[in-house]
């Protein structure tokens, strides 16, 4: 079990986890149509909760972090939200660092309400849409959360908004500069900020440029593997210490049992172990 460090700033807590474990994050994106046959789907909320808890049991001790996709639970209304909160509680009790993948994006009292609600779930980090500027970010930091701001996402159509041809730089660069500025005053004792960035592993050149704008920000890297991201994307995102990245995988881990026989949780565990070894090896090679 991973040692709890709930009294530490989010950036410092994340740094400690990354020093002791593979820099990976497993996404919990439960979809009722893709559950193991052994899980009764008659009650969909109960089914996705049981599946999520089974994934947690399978990857504990392998990954320091899980990312809970709020949409998968919120679609079921209040029962789904209650199930999500129970899953988060179970994850925290098992020692995981939890990212609430909710992509909030508002300001003022609305942002304060969203921040309080996110903190109340027990999650330590949250994903945010930074389009409204730092006014939409600071309330979450004030609530004690670490934040991962969408900067350069892995989806192809994001290029139109995030990286249009321009003599004035890109929108991603503007958001990255804001993240770097906000994070500079929120560094942990070991140098990692509580203000992070979502940067797709599918965009190596962008990741390298953005790293110069955010030298101390943890990078949450989606898109590795199934979406086409690979070694180059992770390498480009590493900070000057050869770390600072959290590489995410969801479907390739939690659906590793598809098309296979036997214990579904063992397949999930095996996939998580292989992913952890692959990313640990990559980061270790680059560190030298």
| ∠ CA 229-279-192, rounded to 5° | 95
- Count CB neighbours of 71 within 10 A: 12
Burial of 70 (0-12, 13-18, 19+ CB in 10 A): buried
Six-digit token pair at 128? Answer: 């945010």
How many CA atoms within 13 Å lie on the side-chain side of 160? Answer: 3
67 in catalytic set: no
Residue 155 phi, psi (nearest 5)? -75, 140
Length, in residues, of the chain: 288
Closest CA to 15 of 89, 75, 97: 97
User: Which residue has tokens 């109960």?
Assistant: 46
Determine which one of 67, 103, 203, 269 is catalytic: 103
* End-to-end alpha carbon distance in the chain: 29
CA–CA distance, 46 with 136 (Å, rounded to integer): 34
Positions annotated as catalytic residues are: 103
């Amino acid at each position: 079990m991973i040692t709890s460090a709930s009294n530490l700033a989010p950036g410092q807590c994340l740094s400690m986890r990354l020093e002791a474990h593979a820099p990976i994050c497993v996404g919990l994106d439960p979809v009722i149509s893709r559950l193991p046959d052994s899980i009764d789907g008659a009650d969909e909320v109960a089914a996705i909760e049981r599946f999520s808890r089974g994934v947690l049991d399978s990857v504990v001790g392998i990954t320091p972090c899980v990312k809970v996709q709020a949409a998968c639970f919120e679609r079921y209304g209040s029962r789904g939200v209650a199930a999500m909160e129970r899953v988060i509680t179970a994850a925290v009790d098992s020692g995981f660092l939890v990212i609430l993948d909710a992509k909030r994006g508002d300001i003022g009292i609305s942002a304060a309400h969203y921040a309080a609600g996110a903190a109340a779930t027990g999650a330590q980090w949250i994903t945010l849409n930074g389009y409204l500027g730092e006014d939409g970010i600071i309330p979450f930091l004030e609530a004690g959360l670490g934040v991962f701001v969408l900067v350069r996402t892995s989806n192809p159509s994001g290029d139109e908004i995030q990286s249009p041809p321009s003599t004035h730089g890109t929108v991603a660069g503007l958001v990255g500069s804001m993240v770097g500025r906000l994070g500079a005053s929120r560094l942990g004792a070991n140098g990692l900020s509580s203000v992070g960035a979502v940067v797709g592993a599918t965009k190596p050149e962008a990741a390298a440029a953005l790293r110069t704008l955010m030298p101390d920000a943890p990078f949450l890297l989606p898109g590795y593997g199934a979406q086409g991201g690979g070694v180059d994307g992770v390498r480009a995102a590493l900070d000057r210490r050869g770390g600072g990245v959290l590489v995410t995988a969801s479907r390739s881990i939690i659906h590793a049992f598809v098309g296979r026989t036997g214990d579904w949780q063992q397949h999930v565990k095996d996939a998580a172990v292989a992913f952890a070894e692959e990313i640990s090896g990559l980061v270790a090679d680059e560190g030298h």
